[in-house]
Every structure is written in structure tokens, then in C-alpha cells.
Chain A
């Protein structure tokens, strides 16, 4: 539904008519409205509850996210646009809105005990988390440069404050400062690119940009602006060589926030990049496809090679997350508007990868947080003999690491295989070979942790106490990954229907 006269700037119509309210489809905006309302409610409720009961912010947030999820479900099957065509509801948008809600719920489960243990800023944390999540939910529907930019800033800015929440800790401050500086710089570069796109095409809506580019062809300014926008997003998704902030920030931030950054924040960046590359710039793909191929190969290889040397589980997951970004970037290197089949497959493989990555990465972070909770550490050497201390936790962490490595019997195997097959079908063999080699390198450091847990003697014998909430989160995540391995249509069908 495109609203006539909305922001059209026609001067021949009388003022009163021009100011006519754009008819807003409130149902289409329901998930955002519910989530924004929940965020405000959490912040206000936190002001009025006594000091000992600050934890109620978490159940409130969970209720808000479940309400958002309900609004998303109520929209299923709807295809519409609102706000003058800048905001679109389709299966793609709904799939990612749903994914962000699921990520939010798992993050809440990871955060609850971490922040309840004497942390002074519980209400603020949940408020910021919901705000950042709102950015992701908006991002899924944004089909306009301005709304894309607002969405990515809405993801980043609360995330920066969340990183700095451990105010007394110098590492947390350093992490937040690094994140802030990189984030501001990448936003500036991205905004510059977007302004060039607007200057060259005169449009901010993605479909209008595409049709305008189709006429002007290989204008150097288009190539330059796409380059700037891609560099801006590459910072957000921590692709090599723009990844330097990620490991330090993840390590210094409160661990649940690191989990949030490596999933919700990163996937938000990928959603924006997917929409831009597949909807606005596919016709000039010949110009930027090689750049993505190099970016993907570099990101996979550098991420995996540095991960080999890590002694700290959060840093290991940070570098592994960088490498995982590289696998998703492969899909961008396959875009070919002249071959719809290749294009569809590349797009679907990226969707599947992101969905599975979110679940398995969150699972691994949850296990790391659970292990470090009571006097434990984040050092991998301390994981020795975890199988003898807490068999359930060891099995869970092993399951997530095996999934991240892309080995059966977890869904991570499908994620890698689909991207691999897409590369083979697009006849980009060298990238497929790089991917294969990287999977082998990655298996080494993931399985090294597994070996340590199962085949080495523990130094202490006490079991690790894991709260029920985290057990439930990890159990469900592992179950979903296993079910998706056994029955892949569970995820591939969703992705297949979400292609625009």
C-alpha cells in the first residue's frame, strides 16, 4: 500500500492537503510498537521496584519479547508496505523479526543470573537490550536508506552502553571505547556512501535506487558509494580487515553482552547488507562481487588462523564468530542477477547460515557464561575434565562447538554445506576450496576444546552448578540444532519462502 502524497513535496497542492496524515498500517508496525512499549515499561518499572526486586525487569522483558513474537506470528502470510513504502512486511522480514525475538529470549536466559548477582544496573541493561533488539526488528523491515541507517544505529548505540555497564572495570571501559570509536567511524563511512547513492540516484528507497542505477550503468560514483556502504557494514559484521574491535570488545564486555554483540548485532548488520546487495545494487554486482569474494576468503582464513592461538574462551568465540561471518560473506560473492537460480540459492544459504549460526553461537556463549559463573574462569585450560565434573554441561558445549565446526550431527553441518553447494553451483570453485580448507582449520580448535573436556583429567572435581534457566536455554538450543540436522526442511523451507 503506497500512500499518495506522503512526503511528495508537490507545491501545487494546498498546504492542508499536503499535510494529510499518511495512513499508517498499525498492524504492520505491531511488533515494533510492542517492543518499544515493553522497553519503556521495563525502564519505568525498574524505577519503582525496591532494590531487592530489580530482577523483575527480566520477566517483564521476556513478556515483551513474547508479545513481539505474538505480533510477528499474527502477521504471518501478510505482504504489505507502509510508511510510504519504506517499511515492508514480507516473509523475509518476519523470519528475521522472529529470529531476533528468539535471540532476545536466549540472551535474557543467559543474562538473568549474571546480572542478578549484585549487578547495579539490571533495569537499564534490560532496557538497552530491548532497544538494541528493536533496532534489529526494524532492520528486518527497512527498505529505505534512512530507515536502514536508523535501524543500524539503534542496534549499535545501546550496545555500546551495554558494553560499558561494568563501570568500575577498566577492561569494560576500554571495550566500550573501542567499540564506540569503530562504530562511529563505520557509521560515518556508511553514511557518506549512502549520501553518494542518494546524490547519484536521487532516491532513498531501495527499489527506486535499483531502477535508477539500471539506467545509469557503471557510473564510477555508484561503484564508489557501494564500496563505502560495504566498508561501513563490514565493520558492523566484523569482517577482516575491519575486525580489530571485536575480540577486545567481546572480552571486556559483560559476557551476555558479548553474546548479544556476536549474534543480534552481527545479524542485524547482515540483514542490512543482504537487503542492500540483493535489492538495491544487484545490477552492478559485477563491480562488487570480487570485493566480497576477497573479503569472504580473508575473513574466514584470518579469523580461523588467529582463533587457533586463543587461550580465552570468549576470545576464541570472537575469532570463531569472525570466521563464521566469512562463510556468510561467501553468499554475497555469488550474487548474479542474470541467473535467478544461483541468486536464490546464494540468498537462501545466507539466511540458513545466519539462523543456525545465531542458535549455535548463543549456545556456546551460554555454556561459557555458565562455566564462569561461580568462581570459574574463561580460560580454556580450566575446561579440562569437565566431562567428569558436569557431564551435561560438557555434552552441551561439545554439541555447540561441533555445530560451529560444521560437523554432523548438528545443524551447523547443513549451514556450511548449503553455502558450499551454492558456491559449487555458481562455479566459484576457488572460494569453495578456501571454505573447505577453513572448515578443517576450524575443526582443529573447536575439537581441541572438546578433547580437553572429555579426555583430560580435571584439576578440581566439584561439579559446575548451572541454573535451570540456562539449562533450559542450552537444552532447547541443542535440541533445535539436532532436530534441524535430522530434518533439514525445518530451516530450509523457511529460508526458501523468505526469498524476495
Chain B
């Protein structure tokens, strides 16, 4: 058995496994600058504003902002549970639109087969609507 004249060249594996790319740690400086500037910007602008603005506390200023209208009731308000059915039904039309739109764009090039396929697809979605109608989901009691 003949041994190789020189030992295996470890330097290449060393290089591949452990060598840190040039300028790697330099990138931490960039991150650090971003962090310092970000924090300074928030505190700087807020404290600057505090220095120059007038200070007139009033009770109305603490009410909830409702597009300029006086808020009615409390923060926790109840929504009628029946709305969730409409949300579910919306999905039917949403899915339909998502697939109909790209189909319509290239419809002329696709031909009859695509037309039939889309009819089948819409028919399946129509079953969902039919189900909702028969289950009296669309009637507001």
C-alpha cells in the first residue's frame, strides 16, 4: 500500500468551514448605527415636540377618536353574530372573482374547453349559494 506523498490538504477545508468573509463584522456597525439613529429619532422628535408645544390639558382630549363624532357606548361593542354568515358567503364570491379575473383576461385564447371548465367551477360555487339560500341564511329575521 502506497501512502500519498503529502498529507491531505486541510487548509482548503479549514477555509471553507471556518473562514469569516471579509467585512462581516463591519456590518454590525451598520446595524448599530441604524439602531442608534432609530432610537434617537423617536426620542428626539418626541422631546423636541414637548419643548415647543403649548400644554393645555382638557377632558375632551382624552375621549376616543371617532372621526370627530362624540363616541357612543364603551370600547367593547357587540356585533350581531349573523354578520359572520355574510363574511362566509363573501368568501364564495371572493374565490370566484380571484379565478374569474385571470380567466377572463385570456378567455379568447383558451377556447371552449376553458369555458366549460369555468361553468363547472361556477356551478360548484353556486351549490354553496344555493345551500345558503335554502338554509335561510340570506333572510334577516
B109-A43 in contact (CB<8A): no
Residue A15 at the chain B interface, CB threshold 8 Å: yes
Which B residue sits closest to A40, measured CB to CB? B127
Contact residue among B109, B127, B130, B135 (Cβ-Cβ distance under 8 Å from A19): B109
> Chain B contacts of A19 at CB under 8 A?
106, 109-110
> Chain B contacts of A15 at CB under 8 A?
106, 109
Residue A181 at the chain B interface, CB threshold 8 Å: no
A21-B113 in contact (CB<8A): yes
Residue B114 at the chain A interface, CB threshold 8 Å: yes
Contact residue among B110, B124, B127, B135 (Cβ-Cβ distance under 8 Å from A21): B110
> Chain B contacts of A47 at CB under 8 A?
130-131, 134-135
Interface residues on B, range: 10 to 19
Nearest CB of chain A from residue B95's CB, rounded to whole Å: 15
Residue A44 at the chain B interface, CB threshold 8 Å: yes
A328 to B20, CA, bound (A): 46
Nearest CB of chain B from residue A165's CB, rounded to whole Å: 15
Most chain A beta-carbon contacts within 10 A, residue among B127, B130, B134, B135: B127
Nearest CB of chain A from residue B127's CB, rounded to whole Å: 6
Which A residue sits closest to B108, measured CB to CB? A16
A14-37 near B? 1/0 per residue, CB < 8 Å: 011001010000000000000000
Nearest CB of chain B from residue A314's CB, rounded to whole Å: 31
B106-A43 in contact (CB<8A): no
Nearest CB of chain B from residue A32's CB, rounded to whole Å: 14
Which A residue sits closest to B109, measured CB to CB? A16
> Chain A contacts of B111 at CB under 8 A?
21
> Chain A contacts of B127 at CB under 8 A?
40, 43-44
A47 to B128, CA, bound (A): 11
Known: A19-B106, A19-B109. A43 touches B114 (CB 8 A): no
Which B residue sits closest to A47, measured CB to CB? B134
A341 to B127, CA, bound (A): 51
Which A residue sits closest to B114, measured CB to CB? A21
> Chain B contacts of A16 at CB under 8 A?
109
Nearest CB of chain B from residue A47's CB, rounded to whole Å: 4
Nearest CB of chain A from residue B132's CB, rounded to whole Å: 10
B124-A40 in contact (CB<8A): yes
Chain B positions near chain A (C-beta within 8 angstroms): 106, 109-111, 113-114, 124, 127, 130-131, 134-135
Chain A positions near chain B (C-beta within 8 angstroms): 15-16, 19, 21, 40, 43-44, 47-48
A-B contact pairs, 9 of them (CB 8 A): A15-B109, A16-B109, A19-B106, A19-B110, A21-B110, A43-B131, A47-B130, A47-B131, A47-B135
Contacts A43-B127, A44-B130 aside, 19 further interface pairs with beta carbons under 8 A come to A15-B106, A15-B109, A16-B109, A19-B106, A19-B110, A21-B110, A21-B111, A21-B113, A21-B114, A40-B124, A40-B127, A43-B131, A44-B127, A44-B131, A47-B130, A47-B131, A47-B134, A47-B135, A48-B134
